[in-house]
Each structure stands twice: as structure tokens, then as C-alpha cells.
Chains A and B, each alone.
Chain A
Amino acid sequence: MLVYVVAILSTGVWLFLLSQGLGSSGIMQTLTQIATLPKTKSLYNFIEVATPHLFAIGTLIFVVAHFMLFSTKISQKFSLRVSVLLFIVALLNILAYLLIIFGAVVSGWVKLLFLGLFVLLFLLLLGMVAFSL
């Protein structure tokens, strides 16, 4: 299951970078482009992506995090903090593009920051589950 989640995260990040022009330029160039001037998206495009992700990411975090209930190696308090933080960061990651669409921020650093935080936190949770097995 942990490998599945890593594969889902990898393909998800790859898809996002492709939508930002990875196919025609390198990774660093794409990241710089997202940070300086991200691709414009309509509200329809945003909702089309956000709706399935709200369901899928919420369910995925729940399923992975619930294994920490059976962990005897890591405290429930720490697991709770990581899980809740992951839920919050996931929500902010999904909604980040909304700030760009409505012009609250011009650059795409917000999206990159929350995407990076989300992936790192999810990997931490997966590591915790793997350590507890």
C-alpha cells in the first residue's frame, strides 16, 4: 500500500509539472516558470481538478493515517499532529491555485510551497507507518 501511495504521489506531481510545461522544458526551468509566472487556469479547470482530489486525497490520508492507531512504536499524539497537519496542508495545496486565479498572488510560489510540504508530510506519514510495521 505504501508503494502504491508513493506511485500515486509521483504520477500526481508529474502530471502537475506536465500541465505547467514540463514536456517542452526541463524540470528546473518548469519550476522557475511556476514560481514566476504559472500557467493561467479558468475556474472550471480548477474545479475539474480540485473536486476529485478533495475526495481522493482525503480518503487516502484517512486510510494511511488510520494504521497509526495500531502503532506501538510511535505515540498517538505525534501521529495525530502529523495527520491533522497533513489534512490542512492537503487542503491548502488543492486550494492554492485559487489564489492565483483570483489574482491574490501573482507568482506560483504558494502552489509550489504547499505541494512540496504536502509531499514531504505524506512521505513522513508513510515512513511512520513503515517504521511501525
Chain B
Amino acid sequence: MKFLVTKDLAHSTLLINLMLGVSVALFFYLGLDVVLHAYVIGSDIESITNTLYGNVEEFIELILLDSLLLQVHIDLFMSLFSIMIIASIYIRLYSDKRTTKWLVHTLFILGLLAPLFLIVAYFTSIGFVYVWLVSFMLGHLLGMGLSLRIIKKLLFK
């Protein structure tokens, strides 16, 4: 990621367009990832608890630990790369702002904790489902927000 930090942006239209392209792609990726999780895990508390804990009355089996762990394993990998790319571009463009450090740290922490809270929720109680839901949504919204700020700065500077 060093090239994103050191190369002079003012003299490179190609780099501006590359950063713009990857930010747009990551913005849509984060949006669609929320939709994907709504399909896989559930879109409301009832469907999420049905997926994680099953429902005897409606004859719904709980999700297998293998399947959930695979989802978490993939989520961690995808989060790491998407957040690293967004963060490295954002730091480059907004290094003079005091909020940058906090926003990037929050994004990394939310991206890491959300998948882990999902596993914790599976083994414990519905309370952690809310924690997962909040951290997952906040992480994705923050990522999309940072992507939008990058796009805005690159397009209208």
C-alpha cells in the first residue's frame, strides 16, 4: 500500500482514477455485503435468532457451526482487505484532519469485532445478536461514509 501514500497525487491522473475506481467498487461491495448477510443470517431480529438458534415451533433447524464459522472466516478476510484499502486512501487524502485517526481506528475495530460477535452470539444469547447487528451496521456504514468522502474529494477537489 506504500504507493498510495508516497506517490505525488497532483501529477498523476491515473492514480486519482485508480483510487476513485477502487473506492466506488468498495462502496458498492459494502452495500451488497449488508444485503448478502440479510439473506444468509437474516434481515430482522426474529429471522436472525431463527438462523442462529433455530425455532422448535416452526421446525427451523439452527445453522451448523461449520457454516457460520466459514462465513466468519470469509468475513474477516474480506473486511481486512476492504478496510485496509479504504483506510490507506483515506489517510492519504485526509491526513491533515484530526478525526482521521479516530475514524480509521473505529473502522478497523468494528470490522474485526462484528464477525467475532456473531460467533459469540451463536454460543451465548440474543443480547450479543444486538451487539453484532449494531457493530456490523455501524462498520459498514462508516466504511461507506469514508468511501463517499474519498469519492467526493477526488471528484470535486
Contact residues of A with B, CB < 8 Å? 1, 3-5, 7-8, 11-12, 14-15, 18-19, 23, 56, 59-60, 63, 66, 69-70
Contact = CB atoms under 8 A, between A and B. Distances in A.
Interface of B: 1-2, 65-66, 69-70, 72-73, 76-77, 79-81, 84, 108, 111-112, 115-116
Contact of A4 (B1, B70, B112): B112
A63 B84 contact: yes
Contacts of A56: 77
B84 A8 contact: no
B69 A7 contact: no
Contacts of A66: 2
A91 to B, nearest CB: 18
Contacts of B73: 8, 11-12, 15
6 contacts: A4-B80, A7-B115, A12-B73, A18-B66, A63-B81, A70-B2
A18 B80 contact: no
Chain A binding site: helix, strand, loop or mixed by DSSP? Answer: helix
5 shortest interchain CB distances as A-B pairs: A11-B73, A4-B80, A8-B76, A15-B69, A18-B66
* Most chain A Cβ neighbours within 10 Å, of B65, B72, B77, B81: B77
Contacts of B112: 3-4, 7
A80 B1 CA distance: 18
Contacts of B66: 15, 18-19
A8 B80 contact: yes
B77 A8 contact: yes
Nearest to A3: B112
A8 B84 CA distance: 15
B84 A11 contact: no
A32 B2 CA distance: 45
Given A1-B80, A4-B111, A14-B69, 4 more contacts: A3-B112, A19-B66, A23-B65, A63-B81
